[in-house]
Amino acid sequence: MAVVKIKILNVIGRMSELNDVTTLLGKSGAFHPDNALSFYSDTSEFIPLNDENPYMSALHTLDETMKSMGKHVELLSSRMVEKIEPTVRGWKPFVKDFSTSVAGLLKKREEIAKLIEDDNKEIEKVSHFKNLDLNLDDLRNCQFVKIRFGSLPVDSYEKLESYEDDPYVVFFPSGKDEERYWGMYCAPTERITEVDRIFSGLYFERTRLHELTGTMKTSMSQLAERKQKRVSARSEIDRQIEALWNKEKQTVQNVYSWLSEEYVFYNIRRFAARYGDNFILTGWIPADRENQIRGWFDQLETVKYTFDNAENPEVLTHSPPVKLKNKKLFRPFEYFVEMYGLPSYNEVDPTILVAITYFILFGIMFADLGQGLCVMLAGYFMWKKLDMKLGRILIPCGISSAIFGTLFGSFFGLEHFLDPFYYALFGLNEKPISVMEPETTSKIILLSVMLGISLVIIAMLINIYSSMRRKNYTSAFFGPNGMAGLVFYSSIVFGFGGQIMSGKKIVTLPYVLCLIILPLIAMFFREVLGGLAEARPNWKPESWGDYIVQNVFEVFEFLLSFLTNTMSFIRVGAFVLVHAGMMMVVFMLAEMTSGIGFVLIVLIGNIFVIALEGLLVGIQALRLEFYEMFSRFFDGEGRPFTPVTVRQES
């Protein structure tokens, strides 16, 4: 079996030892808790434990505080946390003091930052007038003249030409940007209202310079000085924050690590239930950790426990969680299986089948030595640098493509590049398989169909085995993917196929009656026959008429699926031809040019084919796996084994 062996653990004890139990189980990193109440029939006297986690608030506060500082700590290892545990007894006041200090400093910083922003706006405003050589104090003291600083849209400035006769409507520009002129105008006190009205009509926007004194230049330097002081103050606060962090970093790490553990372990209680002053807790552990857990629990006073195999029929009803375990060679393909769905605990793990068939299908459909090697390298890069699971799958796929590419004699689309290799090794003048030759084309299609037939039969055999293991005799013997379906399918294929190919009469009346009609009848009445075989009391259908009508359509669907699933594999052959065809087009285009043009077109064409066809072939092969094969034997309704852990494994 390619799943980790699991056992169910039931624990009972006094409430006083619940913390110890959850801590031990949490530290094991191998305990998958389950809802204890679902394992008992009469739970009326049980109370679920939904206490608030006492560590949540402090952990959250510490987390938020570090985020606000832009800091981060790595979690200490479990052993280190055990060591430092005595030092974190005062965690509550520490978390409170630390977060309060940081919050205070950050608040001050924010206030200063806002003042700096205001200074920036003020400086920008005043900078427009820096070319005006005027003393603001003198201007304010003027009795007979009023001065206005501000800006005018460019359009309006051009309109001022119309006031050239009016000596009081004059604008003195000091600066200009794309949309506005910045400067000032002035007028005698008795005319200022009229002049203000004219400028207002021209959309003059006034800039008030109340706080400034001296000339524009001195005002600007005053503002710059003030801003600089505030920037220094902000830097000082930053320094204080950094100093605080340097001082407390180790303690923060210790407390944070300890709190993270305690928080996670405490959460295990949510799965437990209370009965008086006792608790019950249920979960799953890998079988190889049983002795370790026993050793720990034996040290506790009131705790009693039992282990049970997950294979037990009673335990199976609770759907044990599943962790796949395969050899390193096949492990990358667990990604595809998990994509479809994990197998139930007593279901067959299809990983090895997927690994082998996907390897073959991809290789056949994407057969090119050079391109296969490129795919392999791309997969390696994706796995190592980008940490992508798909990369690990592409490596064997690339190798398969290279192997089949060598067989079909294709190297980056050059169909005769490997001819010397064949001559040297086998004495052949050219490659043995030339996919674009007319006689080869039909053979490729035929072989694809035969491959499909083989894989469908293999899928049925797996289903029979899997169903027998699960004591599902209906599916094993009478279902469309069981013995009846297998006999029916293979007798049609080999009977008619053999008859056509060999010319001998295979399909006779007894053959048809026993190997085609009889299995068909078995499939039609599979539920009735299965019920009898399993000694089910309700084997009879409620209404025979409904049963027959329903099954007519269902059997029709089975028969159609046999045909379509088989024909679906023609795409394998089609992709062989497509690949060769696409490279033929690339070379046709390349031959229209010469020199560097030829090289570029071949290069770009290969890249394009690798990317596009690689993607298509990958998807099509997966489709064949999921739809044509998995649908025959695999439900994928398992749930994953997710033990409680504090630290994520990389």
- Nearest distance, CB of residue 401 and another protein, angstroms: 46
Closer residue to another protein in complex, CB, 177/635: 177
Per-position DSSP letters for 413-463, written without gaps between them: TBTTTTHHHHHHHH--SS-S--TTSHHHHHHHHHHHHHHHHHHHHHHHHHH
- Nearest distance, CB of residue 378 and another protein, angstroms: 41
Q: Assess 117 for contact with another protein (CB under 8 A).
A: no
User: What track of x and - describes contact with another protein for positions 197 through 226 (by CB under 8 A)?
Assistant: ----xxx-x---------------------
Site residues for another protein, window 183-202 (CB under 8 A)? 201-202
The whole-angstrom separation of Cα 363 and Cα 419 is 20
Q: Assess 649 for contact with another protein (CB under 8 A).
A: no
- HEC profile of 179-232: CEEEEEEEEECCCHHHHHHHHHHCCCEECCCCCCCCEHHHHHHHHHHHHHHHHH
Going through 39-167 in order, the beta strands assigned E by DSSP cover 47-48, 145-153
Give the CA distances from residue 327 to residues 27, 71, 355, 542, in Å, rounded to whole numbers and listed in that order: 27, 41, 11, 48
Residue identified by tokens 């400028």 is 199
Q: Assess 175 for contact with another protein (CB under 8 A).
A: no
- Nearest distance, CB of residue 141 and another protein, angstroms: 28
Q: Which stretch binds another protein (CB under 8 A): 7-15, 177-185, 313-321, 510-518?
A: 177-185
Closer residue to another protein in complex, CB, 104/201: 201
Helix (H, G, I), strand (E, B) or coil at 319: coil
- Using CB under 8 A, count the residues that bind another protein: 15
Q: Assess 180 for contact with another protein (CB under 8 A).
A: yes
Closer residue to another protein in complex, CB, 108/125: 125
- Nearest distance, CB of residue 176 and another protein, angstroms: 12
Burial of residue 495 (number of CB atoms within 10 Å: 0-12, 13-18, 19+): middle
Q: Assess 178 for contact with another protein (CB under 8 A).
A: yes
- Nearest distance, CB of residue 167 and another protein, angstroms: 16
The whole-angstrom separation of Cα 513 and Cα 504 is 19
- Nearest distance, CB of residue 191 and another protein, angstroms: 15
Residue identified by tokens 């980790």 is 4
What is the spatial order of strands in the sheet that 180-188 belongs to?
Answer: 172-176, 180-188, 145-153, 205-206
Site residues for another protein, window 140-169 (CB under 8 A)? 151, 153, 155, 158-159, 161-162
Closer residue to another protein in complex, CB, 150/405: 150
- Nearest distance, CB of residue 205 and another protein, angstroms: 4
Find out whether 171 and 160 touch, Cβ atoms under 8 Å: yes
Closer residue to another protein in complex, CB, 204/575: 204
Closer residue to another protein in complex, CB, 151/344: 151
The whole-angstrom separation of Cα 404 and Cα 599 is 25
Closer residue to another protein in complex, CB, 202/512: 202
Of 130, 298, 89, 299, the residue nearest 223 (C-alpha): 130
The whole-angstrom separation of Cα 476 and Cα 343 is 17
Among 45, 74, 133, 179, binds another protein (CB under 8 A): 179
* Interface ranges with another protein (CB under 8 A): 151, 153, 155, 158-159, 161-162, 177-180, 201-203, 205
